[in-house]
Structure 1
Amino acid sequence: MRFVILFCMLGFVICDLPVHCLKHQVAGKWRLYLEKPTQKGVGLLPCGHEIPDRAKTSYMAYSSNFQPSQDFEVTLGDDYKVKSSSKSGEWTMVYDEGFEIKLGNMKYFAFSKYEPKGREGVSYCDQTLVGWYTNQDTQERGCYRAEKTEKVESSESIKTVSIVQPEFMDDDDMKSLSFLQVQEKTPEVNHEEVVEKLNQKEGTWKAKVYDHMKGKSFAEVAKSLGKKLGFKKDKSYKQQDQTANKVFVQTADYSDLPKSFNWKEKLAPPRQQGQCGSCYAIATMSMLSARLKIKGENVDLSPQWSLNCNYYNQGCDGGYPYLVNKFAEEQVLVSEGAEPYQGFDGSCNFQKAKSQSKVYSTKNYKYLGGSYGRVSEQVIMSEIMKNGPVVLSFEPSYDFMYYESGIYHSKAQTNDYAEWEKVDHSVLCYGWGEEDGVKFWMLQNSWGNQWGEGGNFRMKRGVDESAIESMAEASDPYVINQNSSTSFSETKSNESDFDYEDDDSIFSFNQIRQNLK
C-alpha cells in the first residue's frame, strides 16, 4: 500500500502560520506594549523570528526576553478607524493571520497568537505574537506585542500548506517528506476524461491535459495552486467579513475607465515558480518591476531576495503580498541579476546590496480600498490605469489547473472531487478587457510560459469569480542610486545615501526617506 505525506517536509510543517482570526474577533480595545527602539533605518530586525519566519518557532519568538518600556491603549473600530487618548488613525487585517495599525506617525504590525496543539493548533485572537513597530518620522524601529482588554474565546486554527508548481511534485519529492500525517494515496485520475467533461460544459474557456499530469492523482497535481486553506465552505473565506464591509461606499468617479486597458508590454516573461510556494513573492516583484518600467527604469526585481530575507513571511512555505510590500518599504530590494531566482529558501546576505549601483524600495504599500476586503472592480481598474499592475489573490477550483485558453470561470461543482481542498494563489493583474460581452481580467501566472495563454490567463471580471476581487494589493516603487544624492523620480536627502554599519550583515539609510513624507 502506497502512502503520501501531507503538510510536512524537511522535518517541519510547510505552511503559513497556523492561525485563523477574523475582523470581528480583533476589533475592540487593545493594550500595546513597546520595547525601546533597537534599529534605525534599513537593517534586519526579526524580533526573535527566524529569517524567513517558520510556523514551528514563530509562536515562541522572543517571548521570554521581551521587556516593554511603555504601554498604552487603542481602540480598533469596526469601521477600520483607530483611536487612542491623543491620536487617531486606521487599521487593517492582514488576511486572517494578523493586523496592522497606523496611528499618527507610527505603524504597528503583529501576527495573532497561536499554539501548535493537536493536529492544527489553537488561535488566540485576543493576543499577538511579538511583532514590530516603526516611527515613520525618525525611521526608528522596535518590537512590541498587544493584548485585548476583553478576552476572546480561543478557536481551532486553520491549517494552510504552501503549494508548488504541479510538474515539480514527483516521487522523489514525496520520498523527502517526513511524517506528520499520512493517508492512503488517492487513486490516479483519468485526466483526459476530466478535461473532456469540462470542455463539454458550456463556458468561455477550454481545458487541456498537461504532460506533467499524466499518471498522477489529484492530490499530487493539486500541489500547484498556492496555499491550501484546509477547510471547505460554500462561501469564500475572504467574503466572511463582507457584511461589515458594505458600509464602505465608493465615492470616486470611474466614468472615464475604458472598456479595455493593459500594461502587457511592461511585463517580464512569466516565471516558473517550481517546487517553491513563492507565488506571492513572484507576483509582488512582478508588480513592482512593471511599475518601475512604466516610470522608465528597466529592471526585474528579485523575488529570491524576499524569500531569503523577509522575516514577515515564510519563504517557500508561503506568505502574503502585503508583507512583501511592507518589507520592501522598510528595507531595500535588489535586481534579479544580483539575486537570481533559485526556487528554494537561501540564506539572507544583506551585504550583497552594498555592491549594487542601484537598489530599490517602495512607499505607500496598501490593500486597495484602504483595508483588507474593501476593494471593488472599479477601484482595481482605476489603480491599474493610473499606477500600473496590481497583485490579486483568488481561490481556484480544481478545474483551473486544466486551463488552456479563454476567459476562465469555474465549471466545477463543490462535490466533484472529495479530495479537493480550497487553495489560495497570488497572481499579477496587468489589465482588463471584454470579449463577446464578457468582461475579464488579464493576469500573469507563475507556472512558466507553457501553461495557459503563454503563461497568462483571463478571468471573468465584475462577478468576484473565485474571490478574485476580494483582495488587491500594490505599492509605489522607486530607485535609490547609491552614489548619488537623488534617486529616480524621488528627491532624497543631501547627505550620502547610505551610512554603512560595521556589521557586514546590515546597513542603514542616512535620512534617505526624509522627503518621502
Structure 2
Amino acid sequence: MRFVILLCMIGFVVCDLPVHCLKHQVSGKWRLYLEKPTQKGVGLLPCGHEVPDRAKTSYMAYSSNFQPSQDFEVTLGDDYKVKSSSKSGEWTMVYDEGFEIKLGNMKYFAFSKYEPKGREGVSYCDQTLVGWYTNLDTQEKGCYRAEKTEKVESSESIKTVSIVQPEFMDDDDMKSLSFLQVQEKTPELNHDDLVEKLNQKEGTWKAKVYDHMKGKSFAEVAKSLGKKKGFRKDKSYKQQESTSNKVFIQTGEYSELPSSFNWKEKLSPPRQQGQCGSCYAIATMSMLSARLKIQGENVDLSPQWSLNCNYFNQGCDGGYPYLVNKFAEEQVLVSEAAEPYQGFDGSCNFQKAKSQSKVYKTKNYKYLGGSYGRVSEQVIMMEIMKNGPVVLSFEPSYDFMYYESGIYHSKAETNDYAEWEKVDHSVLCFGWGEESGVKFWMLQNSWGDQWGEGGNFRMKRGVDESAIESMAEASDPYVVNQNSSTSFSETKANNSDFDYEDDDSIFSFNQIRQNLK
C-alpha cells in the first residue's frame, strides 16, 4: 500500500484548526457574549460546529444565528488569573488554538478566530469562534463568543500537517480513509544508510529500518509521526514565556520520589492508531483506563467514541488531550467493547451510551502545573506516583520513527528533508527510571507492539528532550453505574444516577453528586 504525507493546504482537507495565537496576544481585557443555556446535562451541543469538528467549516460555526442574551467583561492576566467586576478565577491557553476560562462556577472555552485566506489562513487573536460555556453547579450549557477590547493585528497561521502511524496492516485493515491522498511520488530514500549513520553517532539508543519502510520515500514514511502542527517558537514568545511561569515543587517533596517508578502492570497492550491522526485520543483513553485499573475497575475506554462524538476536536484530523478530558467531564465515555476502534471517523450515536450499564466520566481535567506551559519534571513525577499515568506530547525529529531500543534523544542536528514538517505527537507516560546515569521517561506509543520496545519507548528525562516536558495532561476518571444509586467514596471509582429523556439520541443528568465537585 502506498505511503503518503498528509498536508493541510488551502482546502483545509486534513488538519487541526489553522490558527496560531500566543499567550501575550490573548491576555488582556475581553468581553464575553452569552446565549441563553440550551441544554442541561449530557448530550451533543456542537454550537454550530460539526461532530467531530472540521477545519473547513469551524470558522463559520453559528456565525449568522448567534443571539446573545447577556455580556460582561473579564481580564485575562499574564499570571493566568481572571478578574471580573465581581468574581475571580483562572485561565489557560489550549496550545495555540484557543483558551479556557474558569470564573466562579462557570467554564468558558472557545477557539481563536481564523479565516481560510491565502495558503495558510489568517488568525484573529482578538476574537473567538463560537464556543461553549458550562455552569458547574447546575450542568446547564450554552454557546458564547468573545472579543478583546483592544485589537490585535491579524497574523498568518502556521502551516499544518496531520501525520499518522507506520503501516503494519494490510490494505483490508484500512478501507475507509478521510485523508487527502497526495499522488506525487518523492525520491526513494536509502533508509539503511540513514540508520547506519544514526547508529554511528554516540547515543543511548539504537535505530532500525522497519520492514514497512523499505522501498518508500521519506515523505511516504514520514506520515508515521504525530497528529498536529508544529509550534513556531519565535523570540517574542520566548520573551513572554519566562521561567517564572514554571511551577516547581518543594525540594523536600521531590526528595521523596524514588529513582524509578512505573505503572506498567496497569497498562493495556499498545494500540495501532493506523491511518488516523488519533494519537491524542488513544493516549488520553489509555491514561484514563490505567487510572481506572488502579482504582480496581478493569476496563479499556474507547478512543473511537471520542473520535466520533467529540465536537471540541477534529477526529482523525487531529486534536488535543485537554479537550478529550474536557469532553469526558461534560459528556460521557464508553468502553472499547461498546465502541471498538476503527481508525476512521464514524457517526456519533449517543443511544449507545444510554444502553450501557456503565459509562465513565472524569473530573479535574488539567494541564499539570495549572495551565499550559507551566509544568516541570518534578510535577509530572509527583502526579504519576500519586494518581497514575499522564499524557505527554512532544515534537519528534525524523529520527524518532527509526527508534528500536534504548533511551531516545534526537540525533538529528538539522532537518534536510523538504517533505518534513514538525508535528506534535501525544503518548502515555507511565513511569520513569535511570540507566547508566541517564534519567528517562517510560512511554507507550500508539504504533503497535512491532515498533520500539514492544510498543513502548524511553526518552531522556529532565532536559525537556523534544519538548516532552512542555505539556502534560491528566484528569480523574470515575464510573457511572446507570442502574444503581450507590455512591462510592472519593478514593474509589464514583458513580451517580442517570435519568433519561425520551429522546433517542440525547440524555441528561438528574443528579451530579459530589464526584463533580
> TM-score range with shorter-chain normalisation?
over 0.9
Provide closer, same or farther for how the CA distance between residues 251 and 42 of structure 1 changes in structure 2, counting only shifts above 3 A: farther
The alpha-carbon deviation at position 419 of structure 1 amounts to 3.0
The alpha-carbon deviation at position 354 of structure 1 amounts to 1.5
Provide closer, same or farther for how the CA distance between residues 514 and 394 of structure 1 changes in structure 2, counting only shifts above 3 A: same
The alpha-carbon deviation at position 328 of structure 1 amounts to 0.0
Q: C-alpha separation between the residues in 1 aligned to 2:492 and 2:320?
A: 29
> Are 1:480 and 1:488, in contact at CA under 8 Å, matched by a contact in 2?
no
Q: Secondary structure at the match of 2:252?
A: coil
The alpha-carbon deviation at position 158 of structure 1 amounts to 1.1
> 1:152-208 CA deviation, whole Å, 9 max, x = no partner?
000001122221112279999999999989795321100000000000000000000
> 1:263-293 CA deviation, whole Å, 9 max, x = no partner?
0000000000001100000000000000000
Please name the residue that 1:286 is paired with.
286
Provide closer, same or farther for how the CA distance between residues 195 and 315 of structure 1 changes in structure 2, counting only shifts above 3 A: same
The alpha-carbon deviation at position 247 of structure 1 amounts to 8.3
In terms of mean alpha carbon deviation, does 10-19 or 367-376 score higher? 10-19
Q: C-alpha separation between the residues in 2 aligned to 1:330 and 1:487?
A: 19
> Are 2:6 and 2:162, in contact at CA under 8 Å, matched by a contact in 1?
no
Q: C-alpha separation between the residues in 2 aligned to 1:279 and 1:167?
A: 14
The alpha-carbon deviation at position 417 of structure 1 amounts to 2.9
| Two-structure CA RMSD over aligned residues (Å) | 3.2
> Are 1:262 and 1:430, in contact at CA under 8 Å, matched by a contact in 2?
yes
In terms of mean alpha carbon deviation, does 228-237 or 295-304 score higher? 228-237
Provide closer, same or farther for how the CA distance between residues 192 and 268 of structure 1 changes in structure 2, counting only shifts above 3 A: same
Provide closer, same or farther for how the CA distance between residues 239 and 283 of structure 1 changes in structure 2, counting only shifts above 3 A: farther
Q: C-alpha separation between the residues in 2 aligned to 1:239 and 1:439?
A: 29
Q: Secondary structure at the match of 1:187?
A: coil
The alpha-carbon deviation at position 236 of structure 1 amounts to 13
Please name the residue that 1:151 is paired with.
151
> Are 2:443 and 2:457, in contact at CA under 8 Å, matched by a contact in 1?
yes
Scaled by the length of structure 1, the TM-score of the pair is 0.93
The alpha-carbon deviation at position 59 of structure 1 amounts to 0.2
Provide closer, same or farther for how the CA distance between residues 493 and 199 of structure 1 changes in structure 2, counting only shifts above 3 A: closer
Identical-pair percentage: 93
> Are 2:480 and 2:495, in contact at CA under 8 Å, matched by a contact in 1?
no
Q: C-alpha separation between the residues in 1 aligned to 2:239 and 2:220?
A: 28
> Are 2:295 and 2:493, in contact at CA under 8 Å, matched by a contact in 1?
no
> Are 2:42 and 2:332, in contact at CA under 8 Å, matched by a contact in 1?
yes
Provide closer, same or farther for how the CA distance between residues 182 and 276 of structure 1 changes in structure 2, counting only shifts above 3 A: closer
The alpha-carbon deviation at position 217 of structure 1 amounts to 1.0
In terms of mean alpha carbon deviation, does 162-171 or 236-245 score higher? 236-245
Provide closer, same or farther for how the CA distance between residues 195 and 383 of structure 1 changes in structure 2, counting only shifts above 3 A: same
Provide closer, same or farther for how the CA distance between residues 5 and 118 of structure 1 changes in structure 2, counting only shifts above 3 A: farther
The alpha-carbon deviation at position 414 of structure 1 amounts to 1.6
Please name the residue that 1:19 is paired with.
19
Provide closer, same or farther for how the CA distance between residues 19 and 211 of structure 1 changes in structure 2, counting only shifts above 3 A: same
Q: Secondary structure at the match of 1:252?
A: helix
Provide closer, same or farther for how the CA distance between residues 252 and 501 of structure 1 changes in structure 2, counting only shifts above 3 A: farther
Q: C-alpha separation between the residues in 2 aligned to 1:295 and 1:143?
A: 35
> Are 1:163 and 1:228, in contact at CA under 8 Å, matched by a contact in 2?
yes
Provide closer, same or farther for how the CA distance between residues 249 and 390 of structure 1 changes in structure 2, counting only shifts above 3 A: closer
> Are 2:279 and 2:446, in contact at CA under 8 Å, matched by a contact in 1?
yes
> Are 1:493 and 1:514, in contact at CA under 8 Å, matched by a contact in 2?
no
In terms of mean alpha carbon deviation, does 297-306 or 173-182 score higher? 173-182
Provide closer, same or farther for how the CA distance between residues 233 and 169 of structure 1 changes in structure 2, counting only shifts above 3 A: farther
> 1:229-284 CA deviation, whole Å, 9 max, x = no partner?
36766999899734562587868821100000000000000000001100000000
The alpha-carbon deviation at position 355 of structure 1 amounts to 1.5
> Are 1:492 and 1:512, in contact at CA under 8 Å, matched by a contact in 2?
no
> Are 2:362 and 2:477, in contact at CA under 8 Å, matched by a contact in 1?
yes
The alpha-carbon deviation at position 505 of structure 1 amounts to 0.8
> 1:335-360 CA deviation, whole Å, 9 max, x = no partner?
00000000000000000012211110
Provide closer, same or farther for how the CA distance between residues 220 and 241 of structure 1 changes in structure 2, counting only shifts above 3 A: farther
Please name the residue that 2:197 is paired with.
197
Q: Secondary structure at the match of 2:399?
A: helix
Q: C-alpha separation between the residues in 2 aligned to 1:392 and 1:515?
A: 26
> Are 2:276 and 2:343, in contact at CA under 8 Å, matched by a contact in 1?
yes
> Are 2:5 and 2:222, in contact at CA under 8 Å, matched by a contact in 1?
no
Please name the residue that 2:488 is paired with.
488
> How do residues 388-467 of structure 1 correspond to structure 2 at under 5 angstroms?
388-467=388-467
Provide closer, same or farther for how the CA distance between residues 492 and 135 of structure 1 changes in structure 2, counting only shifts above 3 A: farther
The alpha-carbon deviation at position 512 of structure 1 amounts to 2.3
Which structure 2 segments of 5+ residues have no match? none
Which structure 1 segments of 5+ residues have no match? none
> 1:365-408 CA deviation, whole Å, 9 max, x = no partner?
00000000000000000000000000000000000000000000
> 1:435-476 CA deviation, whole Å, 9 max, x = no partner?
000000000000000000000000000000000000000000
Provide closer, same or farther for how the CA distance between residues 172 and 116 of structure 1 changes in structure 2, counting only shifts above 3 A: farther
The alpha-carbon deviation at position 490 of structure 1 amounts to 5.0
Q: C-alpha separation between the residues in 2 aligned to 1:61 and 1:503?
A: 24
> 1:99-153 CA deviation, whole Å, 9 max, x = no partner?
0000000000000000001111000000000000000011100000000000000
Q: C-alpha separation between the residues in 1 aligned to 2:239 and 2:470?
A: 7
The alpha-carbon deviation at position 225 of structure 1 amounts to 1.2
The alpha-carbon deviation at position 226 of structure 1 amounts to 1.0
The alpha-carbon deviation at position 227 of structure 1 amounts to 2.9
Provide closer, same or farther for how the CA distance between residues 444 and 179 of structure 1 changes in structure 2, counting only shifts above 3 A: closer
Q: Secondary structure at the match of 2:216?
A: coil
Q: C-alpha separation between the residues in 2 aligned to 1:143 and 1:72?
A: 14
> Are 1:390 and 1:474, in contact at CA under 8 Å, matched by a contact in 2?
yes
Q: C-alpha separation between the residues in 2 aligned to 1:128 and 1:259?
A: 45
Please name the residue that 1:100 is paired with.
100
Q: C-alpha separation between the residues in 2 aligned to 1:316 and 1:354?
A: 25
> Are 1:161 and 1:317, in contact at CA under 8 Å, matched by a contact in 2?
no
Aligned residue pairs total 517
> Are 2:230 and 2:424, in contact at CA under 8 Å, matched by a contact in 1?
no
Q: C-alpha separation between the residues in 1 aligned to 2:476 and 2:318?
A: 23
In terms of mean alpha carbon deviation, does 179-188 or 406-415 score higher? 179-188
Q: Secondary structure at the match of 2:79?
A: coil
Q: C-alpha separation between the residues in 2 aligned to 1:120 and 1:186?
A: 23
Provide closer, same or farther for how the CA distance between residues 248 and 19 of structure 1 changes in structure 2, counting only shifts above 3 A: farther
Provide closer, same or farther for how the CA distance between residues 170 and 117 of structure 1 changes in structure 2, counting only shifts above 3 A: farther
> Are 1:227 and 1:424, in contact at CA under 8 Å, matched by a contact in 2?
yes
Q: C-alpha separation between the residues in 1 aligned to 2:385 and 2:313?
A: 29
Q: C-alpha separation between the residues in 1 aligned to 2:247 and 2:389?
A: 27
> Are 2:297 and 2:493, in contact at CA under 8 Å, matched by a contact in 1?
no
> Are 1:392 and 1:471, in contact at CA under 8 Å, matched by a contact in 2?
yes
Provide closer, same or farther for how the CA distance between residues 46 and 128 of structure 1 changes in structure 2, counting only shifts above 3 A: same
Q: C-alpha separation between the residues in 1 aligned to 2:493 and 2:264?
A: 35
The alpha-carbon deviation at position 8 of structure 1 amounts to 5.6
